[in-house]
Chain A
Amino acid sequence: MSPARRSRTKGDATGMYQSAKIINMQDILKIGGKEITNRLFIGTGKFGSFQLMKQALEAARAQVVTVALRRVNAQDKQDNILEYIPKDCTIMANTSGARNCDEALRLARLTKAIGGSNWVKIEVIPDNKYLMPDNEETLKAVEILAKEGFQVFPYMNPDLVMARKMRDAGAAAIMPLGSPIGTNRGFKTQEIVRLMVKEIELPVIVDAGLALPSHLAECMEMGCAAVLVNTAVAIAKDPVVLARAFSYAVEAGRLAYLSSSGNASDIARASSPLTGFLHNENV
């Protein structure tokens, strides 16, 4: 235990001891057959260099990263991205490029054949303008791939009915978008995601469009299991610093979710009694 934690558990007040218990408690996300303690998942696209990407992943102490699958360029003597991803990271390959279920299936099976992980993020996007996922085609892919032994993570447009269907089809988690991919517009889908967190007994991982620590904290405060961020980190002025900031935000939001009573009130609640010195009567 670090010195800071040791002094917190000295038991000077019951309240302090309880909060220390929560903070020290191993908050484990059991997902896709693994145990994850870092709820900030990071995408690997659009970084200025593999080296920079590696530094950002290390700064965030990422445990889960996403990758895509494309043709090798035989002329291009580029390093392989896997050399720059920390060895203990779980790779979640995505099916980006797929415009329908069949293409997603083909991509998923190809990613599994590279080896290393059976986690796949189903991304079925027929729309080039807003990159909106096709929930119906995604659902079809979830059902088939879950039966083939994949841990399936469907990227979807938030929809409670569809999320239930994906859960029933065997998804390992549900990944509703926060706002369209790469737009940095933030967490715009809170109202429906909140219902999904409440009603679906699966991890809910907000993915896409998140750009600020406050967006990530908001997702986590509401009870989301994790968040996935790519563009905001990759194109930041300083991806390494922002990745670290994001990891603090995810942790802060998660701790708040675990520890706060968080109920808003219309009526003010004074921090100290209003009587006891200047005024003897209750106002």
Chain B
Amino acid sequence: MLIKFNGTLEEVEAKSLADLVKEKNINCARVVIEHNLNIIDKDKLADVTLQDNDVIEVLSFIGGG
């Protein structure tokens, strides 16, 4: 699947968002996941099937003022 992950186009094995966070080794506890501009609940990740050109953002808190 060719998706845009955090701004970068890449080929991934994952078929769903749940697969993707596993593939990317992401700790879900501290992040928010946006799929095509929709915020996805952590317990619904398996329900989201990836399509080509999907835009996925995975964000977490960093230092800031």
Contact = CB atoms under 8 A, between A and B. Distances in A.
A96 B64 contact: yes
A109 B40 CA distance: 12
Contacts of A72: 6, 26, 31, 58-60
Contacts of B63: 43-47, 53, 67-68, 81, 234
A67 B30 contact: no
Contacts of A114: 30-32, 59-61
B65 A109 contact: no
A208 B65 CA distance: 8
Interface string A42-77: 011111000001000000000000111111101000
Interface in B15-45: 24-27, 30-32, 34, 37, 39
Nearest to A47: B63
Contact of A67 (B6, B31, B39, B64): B64
Contacts, number: 89
Nearest to B23: A74
B62 A69 contact: yes
A231 interface: yes
Nearest to B33: A113
B64 A71 contact: no
A228 interface: yes
Contacts of A70: 59-60, 62
Interface string A77-106: 000111000000001011010000000001
A113 B44 CA distance: 13
A258 to B, nearest CB: 28
Given A71-B6, A113-B32, A114-B30, A80 B61 contact: yes
B39 to A, nearest CB: 5
A181 interface: yes
A151 interface: no
A151 to B, nearest CB: 17
A111 B61 CA distance: 8
A23 interface: no
Nearest to B29: A80
A231 B65 CA distance: 8
Contact of A94 (B26, B58, B65): B65
A43 B25 contact: no
Nearest to B31: A72
A81 B65 contact: no
Interface string A210-244: 00000000000000000010110010000000000
A74 B7 contact: no
A151 B65 CA distance: 17
A70 B61 CA distance: 6
Given A71-B7, A110-B34, A114-B32, A93 B61 contact: yes
B65 A74 contact: no
B54 interface: no
B58 A181 contact: no
B65 A66 contact: yes
Contacts of B59: 69-72, 110, 114
16 contacts: A44-B65, A45-B62, A47-B63, A66-B64, A67-B63, A68-B64, A69-B61, A69-B62, A70-B62, A72-B26, A74-B25, A91-B61, A113-B39, A114-B31, A181-B65, A230-B64
